[in-house]
Amino acid sequence: MKRDRGFTLLELLVVICVVALLFGVALDRLLRVQELGERAAMEQNVAAINSALVLKFAAYVIGGHPEKIAGELNQNPVHLLARPPQNYLGELYAPDSKSLPRAAWYFDRQSGDLIYLPERARYLSASGVRPDELHFRVALTEGRNEPGEPRELPQPFIAASPPFTWQIE
């Protein structure tokens, strides 16, 4: 009668390699999904600020003072929101961004930029490098005033400075 001896060392190594490979693939997917979530939350805040800027602009136009929108340049656009994002740190004066928590927003009073500190930046790039922080600033579109055409007023929007890409396949 022959006794079963269990796994051989080679079989055990094959099983360990397969489990490690599956764990690596699952971890990569998890990190990708987490970064997708962070990007979506950041883009949602930018979209909310853009909507608030459009509403402020509309209020100025309806009130007969569209030129006042230029006063929003270099101002903190978070004040236009009904409530700031939960991860908003406030207005800071030239802080050391290395000491601040990640996945958070703050307004730098010295530069006039709204800054986002990404926690996960694996797929984030600006000018070919991975940025430690993303800078946003209120800007105005170019208004057109061509003869025979309706006058187009400059409109505010929030722009990344410098532009970045957060490309997650």
| Cross-strand pairs, 107 | 91, 114
Cis peptide before 118 (omega within 30 of 0): no
The residue length of the chain stands at: 169
Sheet holding 88-92, edge to edge: 88-92, 104-108, 113-117, 134-140, 156-160
Confidence bin at 3 (pLDDT 50/70/90)? low
Q: What pLDDT was estimated at residue 118?
A: 93
pTM listed for this prediction: 0.80
- Determine the 3-state secondary structure of 129 from DSSP: strand
How far, in Å, CA of 74 to CA of 91, rounded? Answer: 13
Confidence bin at 75 (pLDDT 50/70/90)? confident
How far, in Å, CA of 18 to CA of 149, rounded? Answer: 67
How far, in Å, CA of 66 to CA of 58, rounded? Answer: 8
Q: Is the pLDDT of residue 65 over 90?
A: no
Confidence bin at 31 (pLDDT 50/70/90)? confident
How far, in Å, CA of 167 to CA of 121, rounded? Answer: 10
Confidence bin at 52 (pLDDT 50/70/90)? very high
Mean pLDDT (whole number) for 7-17? 89
Q: What pLDDT was estimated at residue 152?
A: 77
**Cβ contact 103:118 at 8 Å:** yes
